[in-house]
Amino acid sequence: MTVAIGLLITFLGFLLSLFSLSLTTSVGTRMAMVLAGIALSLIGIVGVVNRAYLKNAIWKR
Amino acid sequence: MLKRLIPVFLLTAALWGQAATPAAAPATPPPAPVAITDADIKGIEAPKPELRAKGDPDGALTGTVSDVAVVDAKKGLTVGDIANQVGQNKIAINFVWTLIAGFLVMFMQAGFAVVETGLCRAKNANHTMMMNFMVYAVGMLAFWMIGFALQMGGVGAVGNLGGSPVLNSEFTVTLFGKAFGLFGQNGYFLMHNGTYDVTVMVIFLFQMVFMDTALTIVTGSAAERWKFAAFLVSSFILGAFIYPLFANWAWGGGWLANLGANFGLGKGYADFAGSGVVHSVGGLTALALAIIVGPRIGKFDRNGRPHAMPGHDIVLVLTGCFILAFGWFGFNPGSTLGASGSGNLRIGSVAVNTMLAGMGGAFTSMLYMWLRYGKPDSSMSGNGLLAGLVAITAPCGFVNPVGSVIIGLIAGVLVCVSVEFVERVMKIDDPVGAISVHGVNGMFGVIAVGLFADGKSNYGGSWNGVPGSVTGLFYGDASQLVAQLIGVSTLLGVVFTVAFAANVLIDVVVGQRVAAKAELQGLDLPEVGALGYPEFELKS
């Protein structure tokens, strides 16, 4: 379940970047939204998906 | 003494200045162009047969008017015949250039194979080589059947290669009032809808070897514990669906390429030879796989501290890096898809940028390791070279030599920092550093286009259908950087997510990881039935 949430967060990061295309024409605002989207995706990958797998890592057994 | 020399310097400078200034030419108007008629070329004589019969040691008699194909023998040679020959020569040059570049890229498979095998332990040598060998076949099968059509089926006419119109069907959806190209629809099995075509064959070969490069990146991060059957299924899916989709968006006329035309973001997502398309797609899939299969037994202790698991042959590793650097001269300069016309003479610049960035990466990674750990590290120097090459792959056609060196220098440090982060913070076991070399530096290369592109390239006056040259933030166009960042966001948010989900599914159905007993024994016998080094006594 945690992995699915992590993947969802990762994908939401992309959606945030994508919607920057329609919400504004300002280059600066678009850049800020895209950077926020990338950060969100990284949180999803590093902070949620990977962490979920680490809970049952082979070296902890 | 100095005062005496000053007049000499001034005199020398004055003379130099005079010599360097060209004499003003008399203002005569250039002669008006004269149209060539058929009559003008009737008088051109072919070498006489008796001369030709004596051989042609200096080559002066070979390749003359007698080699120009004549359409109508009764009319004889016409201007039309010559124009057709010139056109065919241009396309022939571009065909040969692209094919030879593709052959070089194909040879990179050998480089990847020996780098990865050298970085793994001897007990897994045959298994690692076998994965790198079979990824060529399984990837090609997937791409021939499905992947090529999805990637290039709607690319349209490629002018450098003769402008064949048969790859003309792109599936699009309308979003934000604009057409978003999602995947191509022509070219399944290279027979579908008229795609049995000489131009299509050249495009297929070149794109196929690029796709296979992405696939072979993944085998490195999951090496020494990846089940062979799972590897085959995973590679097929990556080659048939995941890679082609992103490649379509970037290179096949899809929505990322059109960010410039549709939303005013620079010249759209620009990835000259595939830092994002090839290396990040491979590197992020490698990350997904490494998370799913987990670390090798013994890589981390119970406290999560990593332990070094040295590869068995550093000679193989560095030889493989050289093979890869050689193949990169096909990868990057070949991505012009031609040597003649449309700004393609920039191939020299692309090749030099490629080698300079590789140098920068090797140099700074060696220095980083030397300063941090007291010795220059051979395998990380090799990875630094590869990181520089990966990072310059997207910008190589758009940046100048200084920009290339800076990109390479940054990539060399970035790969070392990233390897430490992946291993110590994320606690992911990546035996060859594929995630850092290809995933991280691939994304850095994509961003580097948006920073360092100097606006001096000119590939037929436009890029992705937007007039002008690709220009990055440092040269005045911030919107190009936004397009590049959207590409990075797509790689992270879509490619990683889809690759992860697909490989979780394979894990459930096939199982991704070998049994612990097989892993401890070494995968050569349990997975592929023969030892890589049968006469050696191996320590487990």
pLDDT value for B27: 67
Residue B53 makes CB contacts below 8 A (sequence gap 6+) with: none
Closest A-chain CA to B265: A27
Q: Tokens at residue B428, please?
A: 């992911």
Q: So what's the ipTM on this one?
A: 0.98
What's the pTM?
0.91
**What totals of helices (H) and strands (E) does chain B contain, helices first?**
21, 4
Class of residue B169 by CB neighbours under 10 A (exposed 0-12, middle 13-18, buried 19+): middle
Residue B15 has pLDDT above 50, yes or no: no
Hey, is the C-beta of A1 within 8 angstroms of any chain B C-beta?
no
pLDDT value for B10: 47
Distance from CA of B278 to the nearest CA of A (A): 19
CB contact under 8 A, A11 and B291: no
C-alpha span between B469 and B481 (Å, rounded): 14
pLDDT value for B28: 76
What band does B24 get if pLDDT is binned at 50, 70 and 90? low
What tens digit of pLDDT does each residue of B168-191 get? 999 999 999 999 999 999 999 999
What tens digit of pLDDT does each residue of B322-353 get? 999 999 999 999 999 999 988 889 999 999 99
pLDDT value for B26: 59
How far, in Å, are A10, B141, B299 from residue B233 at the CA level? 24, 12, 26
- Collect all residues of chain A within an 8 Å Cβ-Cβ radius of residue B486: 17-18, 20-21, 34
Q: Tokens at residue B137, please?
A: 């076949």
DSSP B362-382: HHHHHHHHHHHHSS--HHHHH
Chain A contact probe: residue of B482, B519, B520 with most A CBs at under 10 A: B482
What tens digit of pLDDT does each residue of A4-56 get? 999 999 999 999 999 999 999 999 999 999 999 999 999 999 999 999 999 98
What band does B41 get if pLDDT is binned at 50, 70 and 90? confident
Q: What is the mean pLDDT of residues B75-80?
A: 91
Closest B-chain CA to A23: B176
Q: Tokens at residue B522, please?
A: 């070494």
Residue B5 has pLDDT above 90, yes or no: no
Q: What is the mean pLDDT of residues B457-472?
A: 93
Pick from B314, B310, B282: nearest CA to B296: B310
Closest A-chain CA to B262: A21
